[in-house]
Amino acid sequence: MYRASLNTQTDIVLRLRDNAPLVNGTANVSVGDFYKYYEKHPSGTCSIEAAKKAHKSAVLGKKVLMLELYIDVDQFKQRTNEEPEERSVPKSKAGVARSVSGSRPQAVKQVRSSSTSTPRSTGTTSISRRVPSTISRATVSSRRRVSSTSLLPSSLGSGYQTIHFKRLISRLREPVPGKLITSIIVDNENQPDSAFLTAEVRKSELARGAMKQVYEATYKDKVFVAKKYYRLDTTVRTRQAISVQANREAVKDELIRYGKATFWLNAFLDGARDAQIDIDTRIEITDAFIAEEEDGSAWLFEPRRTIADPIKFSGTMRHDMPAHRQTDKTVQAFVHFVFAQSSGSLIFADVQGSVGQLSTGHDGTVLFDLMTHTTEEDSGPGDHGPFGIQAWEIQHSCNEICRAFVAAGLFEIQEATDDDGEPPQKRRRLETSISSEDDEIVLLENPQRRREPRGNPAMRRPTPPNFNDDVELPEVSKLARMSAVNSSTHRLSDNDGVPLSTAGSEAD
């Protein structure tokens, strides 16, 4: 018997019949899609039809979901450092809680549904909670639109191409605290390094971003997305694809970023646990590997996520996203933690996440498509160097998790200074523009000391701003909202927020 209370977010796991884990990617779809997927699933433990046969009298002619809740005993013990007190347990096969490992947690206590029609398992201490629930209609959450694509790939055929590749992963080591050395190595999963593995990649695009193309793929009967770059600079408008070598290097840079993010996230979670800081612990970095073909073509493989619209925690140069949920605050504090622990040399940007099943089997947030800004400006596409780091320093506002880390001595509140030693809030001249690519706010350095970005020289000037009354600008001193039409550059006064030059427009 345990004395500590259960944490419903970390200690309770939702399962199918007989403690079968949910298929990856199905934990957060709509009820209607969930029912359709499992209604006639080929696996007997996953099939709703198979489960209904055991409860005909209660569910005959009804649409029901039969789910079970389990306590993850290992997670509970790790969180509470508590061992159970001695108690007598009935010595019967049905009464002995079975020990399971991996993603199948131990069942130790029965939880009974309040519904009188819920069948009760007899002679067992399993905490299985079977919940028949009538589905009146399929609904889709208004907060997270479910992808209209199928949960599993369609039958493979002429729409797919077969690729032969070597599987590459990132390897990190830390010779001195805060100094990471990364490398890319071959890991063919029990196959010789000289062997080539096989995967199927759909010929048509699944999605396209500002720099990458995304395709659906299957490998070892699992669904992935395969990504590759078609350009490395969003300011360069061209239909010509980048070279095979350039794509390979960009893909490797992204895999290394994932490796670094995993390292720092583990350090962040360890620090929060040791200092007993309340954060959202159900966060992890996506698993990924590179599929490098014989001709040098490279794909970044990640597990397929089913949510169509990801959660945006930050932009490439925007770090003032609203943080109402504990997850939002945790991610923002994580970025601050990395900045502090790396001595101001690294910032994670353009952080996105998707709700889904973690490697632990719990539901949580998986972070992906990460960019970084580094002092050396050498971490791959999207790295704006010291200026990108400075943008975070200007915009970041510490939340209670940041302050808890400060109180625990894990990092200090950072205040950036300008070249003259003044904090950035007192900077006298600041240019502001809106990127036409993704409508993110971009802060540009004083033109007298601006470092010219890489790319087509003809495209190096910032996109002319096109403000309207609905655009919210980052708070820099007394920066006010402005409305301008056909203006080229706005220079903001520190005194009153009124543009010093508006080139054909008037300030509000």
Same-domain pairing of 3 and 105: yes
* DSSP secondary structure code for residue 461 in this structure: S
Rounded to 5 degrees, what are φ and ψ at 253? -60, -40
The Cα-based distances of 266 to 103, 151, 319, 374 in angstroms read 20, 30, 22, 20
Report residue 486's pLDDT band, with 50, 70 and 90 as the boundaries. very low
Same-domain pairing of 244 and 124: no
**How confident is the model at residue 110, as a pLDDT?**
38
User: 252: left (phi > 0), else alpha (psi -120 to 50), else beta?
Assistant: alpha
Same-domain pairing of 84 and 225: no
- Encode burial over 189-217: b for 16+ CB neighbours within 10 A, e otherwise: eeeeeeebeebbbbeeebeeeebbbbbbb
Same-domain pairing of 363 and 231: yes
Same-domain pairing of 134 and 211: no
| Cα distance between residue 232 and residue 211, in whole Å | 6
How many Cα atoms occupy the beta-carbon half-sphere of 270 within 13 Å?
6
| Among 123-137, 221-235, 290-304, the least confident range | 123-137
Does the pTM of the predicted model rise above 0.85? no
Asked if residues 290 and 255 have their Cβ atoms less than 8 Å apart, the reply is yes
**How confident is the model at residue 104, as a pLDDT?**
44
Alpha helices in 426-490 (DSSP H): none
Report residue 483's pLDDT band, with 50, 70 and 90 as the boundaries. very low
Specify if 506 maps to a domain.
Answer: no
**How confident is the model at residue 24, as a pLDDT?**
61
Arithmetic mean of pLDDT over the chain: 69
Nearest to 451 by CA among 389, 393, 387, 394: 387
Residue 133 is part of which domain span? 1-141
Asked if residues 313 and 352 have their Cβ atoms less than 8 Å apart, the reply is yes
Q: Dig out the tokens for 490 from the structure.
A: 């706005």
The H or E element spanning position 373 is strand 371-374
Residue 246 has pLDDT above 80, yes or no: yes
Specify if 24 maps to a domain.
Answer: yes
123 by Cβ neighbours in 10 Å (0-12 / 13-18 / 19+) ranks as: exposed
Q: Dig out the tokens for 107 from the structure.
A: 């069942």
Same-domain pairing of 319 and 353: yes
When pLDDT is averaged across residues 112-123 and rounded to a whole number, the result is 34
Each residue's pLDDT tens digit, 398-411: 999 999 999 998 87
Specify if 494 maps to a domain.
Answer: no
Rounded to 5 degrees, what are φ and ψ at 340? -70, -45
More confident residue, 95 or 418: 418
Specify if 437 maps to a domain.
Answer: no
| Cα distance between residue 93 and residue 413, in whole Å | 58
DSSP string, 172-225: EEEEETTEEEEEEEE--SSS-TT--EEEEEESS-SEE-SSEEEEEEEETTEEEE
Same-domain pairing of 126 and 239: no
**Amino acid, res. 448:** Q
**Amino acid, res. 361:** G
| Among 132-146, 268-282, 378-392, the least confident range | 132-146
DSSP string, 216-258: EEEETTEEEEEEEES-S-TT---SSPPPHHHHHHHHHHHHHHH
Give the chain's domain count: 2
Report residue 206's pLDDT band, with 50, 70 and 90 as the boundaries. confident
Same-domain pairing of 263 and 303: yes
Rounded to 5 degrees, what are φ and ψ at 318? -125, 125
CA 348 to chain centre: 12
CB count in 10 Å sphere of residue 223: 19
**Amino acid, res. 199:** A
Secondary structure E strands in 391-455: 431-434, 441-444
The H or E element spanning position 303 is strand 298-303
Each residue's pLDDT tens digit, 424-462: 443 322 333 323 333 333 333 333 333 333 333 333 333
Each residue's pLDDT tens digit, 27-84: 666 677 777 777 767 665 677 777 777 666 566 667 777 788 878 787 677 667 777 6
Same-domain pairing of 45 and 134: yes
DSSP string, 371-420: EEEETT--SSTT--HHHHHHHHHHH----HHHHHHHHTTS--------TT
Specify if 504 maps to a domain.
Answer: no
**How confident is the model at residue 398, as a pLDDT?**
93
Residue 494 has pLDDT above 60, yes or no: no
**How confident is the model at residue 426, as a pLDDT?**
33
Same-domain pairing of 82 and 213: no
